[in-house]
Structure 1
């Protein structure tokens, strides 16, 4: 197995375990009302399933960059992303479990009626990146092999694009008549956090003289 494939395989194995542990741990805190949860619409289920996968990649990239001697501000941002998106993954897994819905989707992005527009606005993504803003498998593996400033800049570039995709997904979900308040709250929280972090990333890239698309 090559170094690049080993990096990808290790990340995938770690995230599988994290997802289910978080889902079980956070399940009691998902809703304010302990009564049975209303059925989720197909759009709500699709959003949660796809955003779990989307967040998993963000967490994996952030963990790759949180290593010495990379710049402290970049590592701090990476840790913030890991904390925020790991928590949201647990919440989303829990909501799906409570609604007796699968965690993964057989048809990613089929719920998002503006998917084509979002893909264009994310400046494109690779053939093996099925969601707006996501990095390709090769891009993630390459990130793990970079060092120094090159690693920091590539992480910021990939994460900026990734966040733009997540923002588009949450905006699209909120444009529907969504009846599940836990899903609405999560989408709004994710939208706020990623919008804020995108501003920070943009400022970092600008200060480094890295072109932004």
Structure 2
């Protein structure tokens, strides 16, 4: 009788030990899955700063492009304005979606362009102008002038403002290619640089012909 009892006890202990091993395996597996979940950029990252600042920069390009589209009969100017507005509005939506996915606010208490610190051309970060605007941004007075203009005057003012705007935008995007960590953000920044540099050349040619 004692022998049977000892055998039964051993079987119970072996069963409990096996169950414990299974539980430990499951816990290790779950912990591993949690630990290897998506790692999103932090709110102070270059990725987040790039997405926030470029949205603001793009928004003004869209605004100016829509203004000139209604103030000129020149089909070439209307076409490039339409292309800029559509492309940059799409990119604004893309960057908004990134911040939403990362669970980050759309704005930050950090100074604009601070994320650019460490880039080849901006070791201390980007520098705001005296009026607090990012480089390339038109002033409220310049927007008012464009709003009041028409015809060739509107075309010349738009192209002048947009060339300056694109030059600064391309510089910001270049900093993005150097500093961001998310591959898709880097690819988007590279595309921005290429597109804006090409558009600068096209707009300079158009301006020379006015």
Q: TM-score range by the shorter chain?
A: 0.7 to 0.9
**Structure 2 vs 1, CA of residues 69 and 163 (structure 1 numbering), >3 Å: closer, same or farther?**
closer
Q: 1:109 aligns with which of 113, 133, 137?
A: 113
Instruction: Output one character per residue of 1:101-127: Cα deviation in whole Å (capped at 9) or x when no partner.
Output: 1112332111122188976xxxxx864
2:39 aligned residue: 38
* Equivalent pair of 1:44/1:183 in contact (CA under 8 Å): yes
Q: Mapping of 1:1-213 within 5 angstroms?
A: 37-41=38-42, 42-67=45-70, 69-106=72-109, 107-113=111-117, 114=122, 127-128=130-131, 130-176=133-179, 178-208=180-210
What SS does structure 1 have at the residue aligned with 2:116?
A: coil
**Structure 2 vs 1, CA of residues 195 and 205 (structure 1 numbering), >3 Å: closer, same or farther?**
same
- Unaligned runs of 5+ residues in structure 2 are 1-35
**Structure 2 vs 1, CA of residues 117 and 200 (structure 1 numbering), >3 Å: closer, same or farther?**
farther
* Equivalent pair of 1:47/1:111 in contact (CA under 8 Å): yes
* Equivalent pair of 2:173/2:190 in contact (CA under 8 Å): yes
Per-residue deviation, 1:69: 4.4
When normalised by structure 1's length, the TM-score is 0.72
**Structure 2 vs 1, CA of residues 87 and 152 (structure 1 numbering), >3 Å: closer, same or farther?**
same
- Unaligned runs of 5+ residues in structure 1 are 1-34, 120-124, 209-213
**Structure 2 vs 1, CA of residues 198 and 136 (structure 1 numbering), >3 Å: closer, same or farther?**
same
Q: Say which one has the larger Rg.
A: 2
Counterpart CA distance in 2 for 1:37 and 1:78 is: 38
* Equivalent pair of 2:173/2:192 in contact (CA under 8 Å): yes
> How many residues were matched structurally?
168
Instruction: Output one character per residue of 1:4-39: Cα deviation in whole Å (capped at 9) or x when no partner.
Output: xxxxxxxxxxxxxxxxxxxxxxxxxxxxxxx96532
